[in-house]
Amino acid sequence: MTLKQLSLGDYQDFIEQQSDYSFLQSKEMAILLEKKKMTVRPMGLIKNGQVKVAGLLYSIPMTGGLHMEINSGPVIADEAFVTEFYKEIQRFAKDNGALQLILKPYQTYQTFDSQGKASSPERKELIDQLTNLGFQFDGLQTGYPGGEPDWHYVKDLSDLQQENLIASFSKKGKPLVKKTNSFGIKIERLKRNQLDRFSKITAATSDRREYQDKPLAYYEDFFDSFGEKADFLIASINFQVYHDNLLAGKAKLKEKLAGIQADLDNNPNSRKKQNEYREISSQIETFHVRLTEAMEWMMQYGKEDIDLAASLFIYTPAEMVYLFSGSLPEFNKFYAPVALQEYAMRKALDLKIPFYNFLGVQGIFDGSDGVLRFKQNFNGYIVRKMGNFRYYPKPLKFKVLQGIKKILGR
């Protein structure tokens, strides 16, 4: 049994045979990390010529040595060999100048339903497996420690088809999607020279929510690295088309109202028809308001397509991932992020991808997490990852250097 560096092609062949792995462990991610000037090694534990466990180990210089990390890995073919893989990675890190080694396993620690109620026991043995080898554990956390989520909202797509996708959404999600689809929103996959449209929306969102956005150059590198496996999507609307759709919808309602009125003329005491008449009349009034708004938007924005929201989706054989997103709050009533989600899920079904990862939620289930509320519309469930484990091959040296950095204020 040996640990060796694999070719990127052999590594990718291995992981695509597995049913559970993160895009952060993909060949495309290795290419992106190399663009960011990191050293990336696809490491595999081999027995009898077969890879049992593998992971992308990347390293960057730090004061006194190297920072090494496996993020959302390793990728596991046989659980019986995971401990040996960890031991060999520790040995490799120590022999190759690492000052610290960080592991963020992708294995699920515990599963919860959509409301945050535990649906499986904790897998405490996964934590023990690493701490028994000398890794220091950051602990189970909520929120976004280090900017990365340990709690993922996910949805199983394996038993769904195009015709029953919407029916699989939550009680609130079904009418929300249907309403969104009535607005005439257009979804467009951006080309590389259009990524500034994506960046403008994510930058505006990051300013509003006070977090650090990625620069345009990062999105361009991401586009180059992932190619057809990544969709930078924009949801836009044309207010002239929207206005015309409203007129057509209003005309249909008036026609329906006329039919109800005819029924009432024949049977004026029908409680059912009276209720239908009030409901349709109310809907027509709503159309009056929406038509007035549409005219105002046409005057302000003209007849051009206006971008509403943007999202980045990653497609691997194992899962589809909802990665980055942004939206413009002045157009919230069009629910453009909902249209993007439906588009991406339908593409995943076309590609026969069995699993959809919406990524992060806070792991706090008191109703305060607005991101969770949005994702609950799609009726998935929640998985908890463990977070960070840290190993220091030379702990005294690391402690001294960290002390010096603190004194120097670096």
Which distant-in-sequence residues (6+ apart) come within 8 Å of 338 by Cβ?
176, 177, 180, 377
What domains lie within the chain, and their CATH numbers? 2-105+387-408 (3.40.630.30), 153-236+306-384 (3.40.630.30), 240-301 (1.20.58.90)
Q: What was the pLDDT predicted at 171?
A: 96
CB 89 within 8 A of CB 3: yes
Smallest CA-to-CA distance from 315 within 17, 56, 28 is with 28
CB 134 within 8 A of CB 90: yes
CB 54 within 8 A of CB 42: yes
Q: How far apart are CA 56 and CA 62, in angstroms?
A: 19
Whole-number CA gyration radius for the chain: 26
Per-residue pLDDT of the chain (410 residues; tens, 9 = 90+): 899 999 999 999 999 999 999 999 999 999 999 999 999 999 999 999 999 999 999 999 998 899 999 999 999 999 999 999 999 999 999 999 999 999 999 999 999 999 999 999 999 999 999 999 999 999 999 999 888 899 999 999 999 999 999 999 999 999 999 999 989 999 999 999 999 999 999 998 887 776 778 999 999 999 999 999 999 999 999 999 999 889 988 899 889 888 888 888 888 888 888 888 899 889 889 888 889 999 999 999 888 999 999 999 999 999 999 999 999 999 999 999 999 999 999 999 999 999 999 999 999 999 999 999 999 999 999 999 999 999 999 887 767 767 666 666 65
Smallest CA-to-CA distance from 192 within 232, 152, 154 is with 232
Q: How far apart are CA 379 and CA 111, in angstroms?
A: 15
Tokens 């190297």 belong to which residue? 66
pTM for this predicted structure: 0.91
Q: Residues of the chain with pLDDT > 70: what percent? A: 97
Q: How far apart are CA 358 and CA 356, in angstroms?
A: 6
Tokens of 134: 């000398």
With residue 350 as reference, give the H or E element that holds it: helix 336-350
Q: What is the amino acid identity at position 354?
A: P
Tokens of 78: 């046989």
Q: What was the pLDDT predicted at 220?
A: 97
Q: What was the pLDDT predicted at 271?
A: 84
What is the per-residue pLDDT across 133-167, written as a single tens digit (0 to 9) for each? 999 999 999 999 888 899 999 999 999 999 999 99
Q: What was the pLDDT predicted at 217?
A: 95
Tally the residues of the chain. 410
Q: How far apart are CA 57 and CA 5, in angstroms?
A: 10
CB 71 within 8 A of CB 372: no
225: left (phi over 0), alpha (psi -120 to 50) or beta: alpha
CB 334 within 8 A of CB 39: no
Q: What was the pLDDT predicted at 410?
A: 58
Q: What was the pLDDT predicted at 303?
A: 83
Q: What was the pLDDT predicted at 273?
A: 82
Q: What was the pLDDT predicted at 208?
A: 77
Smallest CA-to-CA distance from 307 within 199, 399, 386, 404 is with 199
Q: Residues of the chain with pLDDT > 90: what percent? A: 77
DSSP designation for 22: -
With residue 65 as reference, give the H or E element that holds it: strand 65-71
Smallest CA-to-CA distance from 361 within 154, 188, 73, 84 is with 154
CB 152 within 8 A of CB 385: yes
Q: What was the pLDDT predicted at 8?
A: 96
Which distant-in-sequence residues (6+ apart) come within 8 Å of 55 by Cβ?
25, 42, 43, 70, 73, 74, 75, 85, 89
